[in-house]
Amino acid sequence: MSGHAYEVSLSAGVYPKELVKTLNRLSLHSESTTKIHTREVVFEPLDAQLLRESGQEPVFLRAKKELTEPNSPWELYSYLKPESVRTYPDATVRPFVNVQVSGDALSFAAGLGYIKKTSIYKRGYAFRRGPLIILMFQQEQPDPKTEKPIPAQPDTLWEVEVKTASPVRDAPVKQTIDLLLEVQTIMKGLLDLRRQEF
């Protein structure tokens, strides 16, 4: 596994009626909590259709920007195929590359030969727990004309991602999975955190 950086994660969904209980328990077991409002744009290569027709899965390029922080940079990142469930049955382990971009990341992506596929906003909370970040958010769709976020309906499911705050390079992956499983145990009864294929 040398040569790659990895993101290690678990995911779950929360119904709005369980929101306060879940927030309270996460807050109790985290070092800090902040509100987030993130714009995320997914790009696919110009030749994505040709790749699919030849039996290959195109690698998507993703751009995200935190809107709650003035002048925050765009971050470009990409995931490769998750490692086998046989190798890592307890968590999703994906090779991961990322880079910060000053200026217009969307034009930069176009210059690399990518076109915009989808765009969403995520509004919610980020909790820090050691080397982990726990994101809890509702998705907001952009207005087709203005690209501004349309607030989520009150009954929209909350999504939870427990993952490494930065790519795992030095720490062993199995050690990181143990930290994720601690959160899984802490949240038992409220969150069904599990491995997910992306």
Asked whether residue 165 is domain-assigned, the answer is yes
In what helix (H) or strand (E) does residue 134 lie, and over which residues does it extend?
A: strand 132-142
CB distance 122 to 105 below 8 Å: no
The enclosing domain of 82 has a CATH number of: 2.40.320.10
Asked whether residue 99 is domain-assigned, the answer is yes
pLDDT-above-70 percentage for the chain: 97
Structural domain boundaries enclosing 103: 6-186
Asked whether residue 58 is domain-assigned, the answer is yes
pLDDT in tens, 111-127: 888 999 999 999 999 99
Asked whether residue 66 is domain-assigned, the answer is yes
Asked whether residue 69 is domain-assigned, the answer is yes
CB distance 193 to 91 below 8 Å: no
Q: Kindly state the DSSP code that residue 153 receives in the 8-state scheme.
A: P
Dig out the tokens for 141 from the structure: 């769709």
Side chain identity at residue 133, one-letter code = I
pLDDT in tens, 57-103: 888 899 999 999 988 999 999 988 889 999 999 999 999 888 888 88
